[in-house]
Amino acid sequence: MTFKRKLLLAVLPFAFGFAGPASALDIKFAEIHPAGYPTVVAEQNMGKKIEAASNGEITFKMFPGGVLGSEKEVIEQAQIGAVQMTRVSLGIVGPVVPDVNVFNMPFVFRDHDHMRKVIDGEIGQEILDKITNSDFNLVALAWMDGGTRNLYTKQPVRSIGDLKGMKIRVQGNPLFIDMMNAMGGNGIAMDTGEIFSALQTGVIDGAENNPPTLLEHNHYQNAKYYTLTGHLILPEPVVMSKTTWNALTPEQQALVKKVAREAQMEERELWDAKTAASEEKLKAAGVEFITVDKKPFYDATASVREQYGKDFADLMKRIDAVN
- Binding residue (CB under 6 A) for ligand BDP from 77, 84, 101, 210: 210
Q: How far is the CB of 263 from ligand BDP (least distance, A)?
A: 15
Q: What are the residues whose beta carbons fall under 8 Å from the beta carbon of 298, sequence distance 6 or more?
A: 106, 107
192 touches ligand BDP (CB under 6 A): yes
User: Which of the ranges 10-18, 94-102, 120-128, 206-214 carries the binding residues for ligand BDP, by CB under 6 A?
Assistant: 206-214
- Binding residue (CB under 6 A) for ligand BDP from 54, 84, 209, 241: 209
User: Which of the ranges 4-12, 131-139, 174-182, 205-213 carries the binding residues for ligand BDP, by CB under 6 A?
Assistant: 205-213
Q: How far is the CB of 314 from ligand BDP (least distance, A)?
A: 28
Among residue numbers 236 through 275, which ones bind ligand BDP (CB under 6 A)?
Answer: 236
104 touches ligand BDP (CB under 6 A): no
Could you give the CA distance from residue 10 to residue 222 in angstroms, rounded to a whole number?
A: 59
Note whether 153 and 219 are within 8 A (CB): no
182 touches ligand BDP (CB under 6 A): no
Compute how many other C-beta atoms are within 10 angstroms of the C-beta atom of residue 11.
Answer: 10
148 touches ligand BDP (CB under 6 A): no
String of contacts with ligand BDP for each residue 28-67, x by CB under 6 A: ----x-----------------------------------
Long-range contacts of 3-12 (CB under 8 A, 24+ apart): none
88 touches ligand BDP (CB under 6 A): yes
Q: How far is the CB of 13 from ligand BDP (least distance, A)?
A: 38
- Binding residue (CB under 6 A) for ligand BDP from 89, 104, 153, 229: 89
Note whether 87 and 236 are within 8 A (CB): yes
DSSP string computed for 191-243: -GGGHHHHHHHTS-SEEEE-HHHHHHTTGGGT--EEEEEEEE---EEEEEEHH
Could you give the CA distance from residue 61 to residue 51 in angstroms, rounded to a whole number?
A: 10
Name the nearest CA neighbour of 150 among 274, 37, 238, 279.
279
Helix axes 38-53 and 250-284, enclosed angle (nearest 10): 160
Handedness of CA 140, 93, 190, 319 (dihedral sign): negative
Q: How far is the CB of 213 from ligand BDP (least distance, A)?
A: 4
- Binding residue (CB under 6 A) for ligand BDP from 146, 211, 230, 235: 146
Compute how many other C-beta atoms are within 10 angstroms of the C-beta atom of residue 22.
Answer: 7
Note whether 206 and 152 are within 8 A (CB): yes
User: Which of the ranges 19-27, 95-103, 207-215, 314-322 carries the binding residues for ligand BDP, by CB under 6 A?
Assistant: 207-215
Nearer to ligand BDP, 27 or 215 (CB): 215
Contacting positions for ligand BDP (CB under 6 A): 32, 71, 88-89, 146, 171, 192, 209-210, 213, 236
